[in-house]
Amino acid sequence: MSETGMKKKYKLVYDRANCIGAGSCVSVHPERWVMNAQDDKADLINATKDEKGEWMVEFTLDELESFKLAAEVCPVNVIHIYDLETGEKVI
């Protein structure tokens, strides 16, 4: 993979308030997701929270497939990925 490809940036936006605690994201990408024992919802590791309560994290191409899989297996569609360069929604 080219160095340029590795530096491409993406942003994941997680609507934690609407998480139902299925844990699918944790199952497929446990390096970045963990279940919170207090409310049985998933926490996004190393994320920041915005004023709307959404959790966000920026990442590079090396994590794209893992995060995409987490978004795809989420039964309530609360995980969204955007290309930071173009602003387009990836999933």
pLDDT in tens, 64-88: 999 999 999 999 999 999 999 999 9
Domains observed in the chain:
3-83 (3.30.70.20)
Let me know: does 46 contact 32? Beta carbons within 8 Å: yes
* Contact criterion met (CB below 8 Å) for 42 and 25: yes
Interval 20-74: pLDDT, tens = 999 999 999 999 999 999 999 999 999 999 888 899 999 999 999 999 999 999 9
Q: Is the pTM of this model over 0.75?
A: yes
Bridge partners of residue 56, in order along the sequence: 13, 48
